[in-house]
Amino acid sequence: MCKLLLYLTYGYNRLSKDAFRASLAMFSKPARQHALPRISNETELVNYMGR
């Protein structure tokens, strides 16, 4: 899928190809990162919803 996307990208050239391949090597394993909770209690929720 990523390689197909690379060839369908507008403005694709050798520099972008090399950069894309380098990024695939660096980030080969998918990662999941969970966001920290933005609201820690009910009071903060009420204040946030009041905006």
pLDDT tens, the chain, 51 aa long: 455 565 566 677 788 888 888 888 888 787 787 777 788 899 988 888 886
CA dist 5 and 24 (Å) reads: 12
Can you read off the two tokens belonging to residue 25? 């090597």
The amino acid at residue 13 is N
- Owner of token pair 């009910």: 42
What's the pTM value of the predicted model, to 2 decimals? 0.39
Task: State residue 26's pLDDT score.
Answer: 85
Q: Where are the domains of the chain?
A: 1-27
CB 39 within 8 A of CB 48: yes
E-assigned strands of the chain? none
